[in-house]
C-alpha cells in the first residue's frame, strides 16, 4: 500500500517541514522509499534537505502544467547516508501556480491526476504544505490518502486547528473525495515541559480529539538543535545522532509502517 501523507497546518511555525523531513529519514532507516513533495512557495524543503535552489522547471510547478508527461523532477537528498529519499522541490514559482489553480478546470484534482497518470514508485509520498488553507493544500487534500496535523501547544494554534478540521470536513464533501483521506492524528510540536500552558493543553488534547475519533500522538519536544540541523540541511539523526529528540518521531513512523506493510522492491533500491 502506498501512503500519500499530507502534512497540513494553517499556522506558520507549527513544524510541518521538520516533521516531514524527520519522518522521511525515519522511514528511510526502515528501508522504505520516500518522495518529499514541496507544495510550499517558501521552498523550505530545499533548505532542510541541503539542496541547491532549483530552476523553475525543476520544481513541482512543472509537474502541475498541462504539458507534463511524467518526468518527475526528483532530486536525491542525504545521498551520503541513504539512497531512499528524493525531493520534488518547491519555491516562489508555486505562488503563480496557486493563482492558476483557481481558474484551472481540474485545479483541486491536478496533483491527484498527475499521480494517477504518472505514478511514483515510492512507498510513501509526503506533501509538505504551506501554512494556508488555499489552493495548494486543497490540491494536497484531494491527492492524499492520509493527513497529519502538527500543532503547537498554544491556544491560538489549537483554535486554528479547529478551523482546519472544519475546512477538512467541508472540502472532503465538496470535492466528493472517495475514499475520504484519513486523519492519522495530531502531533503536538515544540513541546516544552517547563511551560504550564503546554502541559495543560497536552493533557487535555487526547480527550478532546477522542470525541472526533482522532488520535493524539506523543509530542515532539522543543529543541534548538532542530533549527541547527535544518541550517545544515540535515535531519537531527545525522546532525546530532546522540540527541534524544530524534526518537520523538518513532511513534508516528511505526504507525505508518504498520499501515504500509513491507517495503516494495525497487530497481532504485540497493
Q: Tell me: pLDDT of 6 over 80.
A: yes
H/E run at residue 38: strand 34-38
| Integer angstrom CA distances of residue 3 from 32, 36, 141 | 11, 12, 13
Count each helix (H run) and each strand (E run) in the chain, helices first.
11, 7
- Using alpha carbons, select from 24, 252, 239 the residue that is nearest to residue 126: 24
Question: What SS3 string covers 100-114?
Answer: HHHHCCCHHHHHHHH
Residue 127 DSSP SS3: strand
Which band of pLDDT confidence, cut at 50, 70 and 90, is reported for residue 11? confident
| pLDDT for 268 | 46
Give tens-digit pLDDT for 230-263.
999 999 999 999 999 999 999 999 999 999 998 8
Across the range 8-34, mean pLDDT stands at 93
pTM above 0.75, yes or no: yes
Q: Tell me: pLDDT of 270 over 70.
A: no
User: What mean pLDDT value characterizes the chain?
Assistant: 94
| pLDDT for 266 | 53
Tell me the β-bridge partners of 127. Answer: 6, 37
φ, ψ of residue 24 in degrees (nearest 5):
-60, -45
- Using alpha carbons, select from 87, 24, 22 the residue that is nearest to residue 52: 87
Cis peptide before 83 (omega within 30 of 0): no
| pLDDT for 265 | 59
Q: When comparing pLDDT for 268 and 175, which is higher?
A: 175
Which residues are CB-contacts of 229 (< 8 A; sequence separation ≥ 6)? 235, 236, 238, 239, 240
DSSP string, 47-93: HHTTPPPPPGGGBHHHHTSTT--S----EE-STTT-SSEEEEB--TH
Q: Tell me: pLDDT of 15 over 80.
A: yes
Class of domain 1-258: alpha beta
- Using alpha carbons, select from 151, 188, 152, 146 the residue that is nearest to residue 168: 146
Q: When comparing pLDDT for 264 and 88, which is higher?
A: 88
Across the range 60-80, mean pLDDT stands at 95
| pLDDT for 267 | 45
Which band of pLDDT confidence, cut at 50, 70 and 90, is reported for residue 13? confident
Give tens-digit pLDDT for 81-117.
999 999 999 999 999 999 999 899 999 999 999 999 9
Tell me the β-bridge partners of 216. Answer: 186
Give tens-digit pLDDT for 189-222.
999 999 999 999 999 999 999 989 999 999 999 9
Contact 6, 181 (CB under 8 A): yes
Give tens-digit pLDDT for 119-154.
999 999 999 999 999 999 999 999 999 999 999 999
| Integer angstrom CA distances of residue 78 from 46, 82, 127, 213 | 12, 6, 18, 37
φ, ψ of residue 221 in degrees (nearest 5):
-70, 160
| pLDDT for 10 | 87
Tell me the β-bridge partners of 86. Answer: 35, 76
Q: Cα–Cα distance between 215 and 181 in angstroms, integer?
A: 15
Matching residue, cell 511505526: 254
Q: Tell me: pLDDT of 80 over 50.
A: yes
Angle at alpha carbon of residue 136, lines to 134 and 142, rounded to 5°: 105
φ, ψ of residue 90 in degrees (nearest 5):
-110, -160
Domain map of the chain by residue range? 1-258
Amino acid at each position: 500500500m502506498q501512503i500519500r501523507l499530507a502534512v497540513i497546518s494553517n499556522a506558520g511555525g507549527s513544524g510541518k517541514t521538520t516533521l516531514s523531513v524527520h519522518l522521511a529519514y525515519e522511514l528511510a532507516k526502515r528501508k522504505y522509499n520516500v518522495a518529499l513533495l514541496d507544495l510550499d512557495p517558501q521552498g523550505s524543503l530545499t533548505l532542510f534537505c541541503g539542496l541547491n535552489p532549483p530552476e523553475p522547471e525543476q520544481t513541482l510547478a512543472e509537474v502541475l502544467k498541462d504539458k507534463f508527461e511524467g518526468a518527475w523532477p526528483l532530486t536525491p537528498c542525504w545521498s551520503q547516508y541513504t539512497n531512499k529519499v528524493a525531493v520534488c522541490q518547491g519555491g516562489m514559482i508555486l505562488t503563480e501556480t496557486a493563482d492558476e489553480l483557481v481558474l484551472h478546470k481540474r485545479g483541486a484534482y491536478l496533483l491527484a491526476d498527475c499521480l494517477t497518470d504518472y505514478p511514483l514508485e515510492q512507498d510513501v509520498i509526503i506533501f509538505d504544505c504551506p501554512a494556508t488553507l488555499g489552493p495548494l493544500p486543497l490540491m494536497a487534500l484531494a491527492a492524499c490518502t492520509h493527513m497529519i496535523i502538527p500543532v503547537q501547544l498554544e491556544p491560538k494554534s489549537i483554535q486554528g486547528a479547529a478551523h482546519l478540521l472544519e475546512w477538512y470536513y467541508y472540502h472532503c464533501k465538496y470535492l466528493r473525495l472517495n475514499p475520504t483521506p484519513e486523519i492519522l492524528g495530531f502531533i503536538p510540536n515544540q513541546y516544552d515541559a517547563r511551560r504550564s500552558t503546554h502541559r495543560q493543553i497536552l493533557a487535555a488534547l487526547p480527550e478532546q480529539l477522542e470525541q472526533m475519533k482522532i488520535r493524539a500522538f506523543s509530542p515532539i519536544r522543543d529543541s534548538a538543535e532542530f533549527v541547527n540541523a535544518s541550517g545544515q540541511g540535515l535531519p537531527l539523526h545525522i546532525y546530532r545522532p546522540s540527541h534524544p529528540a530524534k526518537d520523538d518521531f518513532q511513534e508516528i513512523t511505526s504507525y505508518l509502517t504498520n499501515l504500509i506493510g513491507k517495503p516494495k522492491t525497487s530497481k532504485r533500491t540497493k
